[in-house]
Structure 1
Amino acid sequence: MRDDLTQTLYNDFPALYTGMCWGFETGNGWYQIIRCLSISINNIIASASLDPSQFTAVQVKEKFGLLRVYISTTNNAIQDAIYHAVQESSRTCEMCGGPGVQIARGGWMRVSCEPCEAERVRIRRKDTRRYNRRDSGTMEVE
């Protein structure tokens, strides 16, 4: 996730994201899902008069094409909120945030829309051609 989006989440939800070592390991497209989840978790904690310092995110990432959120302490309401965020990620392009579908290619699963997937494939092919040219001893000029 872009640094500015990461910093906004850290600033807006300092108690929730105080213990994350690796930052947000997702594409920018899931920012809104993570933001809504953060608001839900804060509301759950506040409405139950719980200590916010007990509920810190340990890791927020993509795994097997879906959003994964690991919290140090949780309850049923927070687990339900996380479940709904994961379900939303299954139909949201991780790169742009538009409607997406789950794609499994080359051993990797992801949620992508058609334009973002086409761009990803185009860049990957270009990088593969560049790598193959370097490997064969020829030089590429761009």
Structure 2
Amino acid sequence: MKKELDELLCQRYPLIFADRRRSIKESCMGWGFSCGDGWFDLIDTLCERLQFWTDRNGAPQVVAQQVKEKFGTLCFYPREANQTQRGMIYMAEALSARICDQCGRPGQTLVHEHWHMTRCAEHAPVGAITQAAFIAQRKVPGIAP
């Protein structure tokens, strides 16, 4: 994620990203946000809701340990969260499979040279196939999934 967007999230949600300036030996947040700019709005909305739930409902203070892309979807790892907050995180992670990680427009999870990514048609690499097609290609005949 661009430095400006990284800083904006940390400015808006200092309690959630309290570990952002720690060394990578202390917190994976030291690496920053390991995802594309297209998920900025998704992460911003998630953090707004998480902080609202903490402030208004006495929920635990979520502190992000790591925010990254993995297998084409967002992974948001909190230090502590209650069941409702975890539901918010799971929903954002699921939505990321439908949002281009580069621009934020509608997308789908694709595979290109074994790399999984969620992209719109404009940002999809030439030769990328859907995740479902990739999985179907890898199935071995005669072996149950």
TM-score (norm 1): 0.79
RMSD: 1.5
| Deviation string, structure 1 residues 64-111 (Cα, Å, up to 9, x no partner) | 100000000111011110011011101000000001011012111110
Larger radius of gyration: 1
**What SS does the corresponding residue of 1:68 show, helix, strand or coil?**
strand
Following TM superposition, by how much is the alpha carbon of 1:44 offset from its aligned partner in structure 2, in angstroms? 1.2
Structure 1 unpaired stretches of 5+: 122-142
**What SS does the corresponding residue of 2:31 show, helix, strand or coil?**
coil
Q: Report sequence identity in percent.
A: 32
> Corresponding residue for 1:49?
58
What letter is aligned with 1:5?
Answer: L
| Deviation string, structure 1 residues 4-58 (Cα, Å, up to 9, x no partner) | 0000000010010011211110000000000000001001111222463xx2100
> Corresponding residue for 1:5?
5
> Corresponding residue for 2:36?
27
> Corresponding residue for 2:108?
101
CA–CA distance in 1 between the matches of 2:59 and 2:108?
37
How do 1:119-138 residues align onto structure 2 when only pairs under 5 Å count? Answer: 121=126
For the pair 1:117 / 2:124, whether they are aligned, the reply is yes
For the pair 1:88 / 2:88, whether they are aligned, the reply is no
**What SS does the corresponding residue of 1:115 show, helix, strand or coil?**
coil
CA–CA distance in 1 between the matches of 2:59 and 2:91?
22
CA–CA distance in 1 between the matches of 2:91 and 2:78?
15
How do 1:69-84 residues align onto structure 2 when only pairs under 5 Å count? Answer: 69-84=76-91
CA–CA distance in 1 between the matches of 2:59 and 2:38?
31
Alignment CA distance shift 1:114-1:75 (3 Å)? same
- State the number of aligned residues: 118
